[in-house]
Amino acid sequence: AQSVTQPDIHITVSEGASLELRCNYSYGATPYLFWYVQSPGQGLQLLLKYFSGDTLVQGIKGFEAEFKRSQSSFNLRKPSVHWSDAAEYFCAVAARGGGNKLTFGTGTQLKVEL
Amino acid sequence: ETGVTQTPRHLVMGMTNKKSLKCEQHLGHNAMYWYKQSAKKPLELMFVYNFKEQTENNSVPSRFSPECPNSSHLFLHLHTLQPEDSALYLCASGLVEFDEQFFGPGTRLTVL
């Protein structure tokens, strides 16, 4: 079965600084990979996804993520963080051909200092 | 309405009450999901419905009873809950053929 690790529970960055959120997965092959964001009191919104092809994926709100097979990682990045990016971020994986089930990490809470 | 909607947004119930959560999707999807989100724990998949048929029950206690009358509606019937069942319950929908899921805003449930 697949699993996801988000090693950083909390991250604080200054507005305008760059951001990288880490995600490592465990799976026997290349999975489908996702990043979701959750604002307080809200559901999850999809930021971006990787299914195949170019390993650098562009998403909404200026986010991007890079799939690195050798490191089993799918880290999320943003070059300049805005105060409105403060939220919780979840990495998720799904097995190819394994049914439509997502496995989520425990999340990273992002705080943005003005 | 667009996307995935959930009602009610907040619910407080006693352990002897019976209540239901409702989810509706307006995206033309054929799969629907219930998740439980508790503090400091990963999202827990509870149930999966593909084409209105339940295909996954992730060892959920019988005090949670799902119902999917059609591909657009999903219910979670609750009875004799425990305080540890207090959580945010999220509904999601998607296409069986793909793994991307779209989430509703959730129902914040408190069991007294």
pLDDT of residue B98: 72
Comparing CB atoms, the residue among B41, B42, B48 nearest residue A101 is B48
Put simply, the answer to whether B98 touches A100 (Cβ < 8 Å) is: yes
Asked if B48 is an interface residue toward chain A (Cβ–Cβ < 8 A), one would say yes
Q: How confident is the model at residue A99 (pLDDT cuts 50, 70, 90)?
A: low
Contact B93, B33 (CB under 8 A): yes
| Partner residue facing B90 (CB), from A43, A101, A107 | A43
Give B101's strand partners.
Answer: B94
Could you give the CA distance from residue A11 to residue A21 in angstroms, rounded to a whole number?
A: 8
Tell me the pairing of strands A108-113 and A10-14: parallel
**d(CA A106, nearest CA chain B) in Å:** 4
Q: Could you list the mean pLDDT of each consecutive 10-residue stretch along chain B, which spans 112 residues?
A: 89 93 95 92 90 89 95 96 95 85 94 94
Higher pLDDT pick, B23 / A1: B23
CA A81 to chain centre: 15
Instruction: Write down the pLDDT at residue B84.
Output: 93
Cα B49 vs. chain centroid, distance in angstroms? 11
pLDDT range class, residue A98, cuts 50, 70, 90: low
Q: Is A10 on the interface with B (CB under 8 A)?
A: no
Q: How far apart are CA B102 and CA B33, in angstroms?
A: 10
H and E: helices and strands count for chain B: 0, 11
- Name residue B67's amino acid: E
A40 DSSP 8-state letter? T
A18-48 pLDDT, tens digit each: 999 999 999 878 889 999 999 988 889 999 9
Put simply, whether A53 touches B (Cβ < 8 Å) is: no
- Rounded distance between C-alpha atoms, residue A104 and residue B108, angstroms: 20
Ramachandran category for residue A107: left, alpha or beta (phi over 0 → left; psi -120 to 50 → alpha) = left
SS (H, E, C) B58-82: CCCCCCEEEEEEECCEEEEEEECCC
Rounded Cα–Cα distance for residues B4 and A62 (Å): 24
Q: Rounded CA gap, A63 and A79, in Å?
A: 8
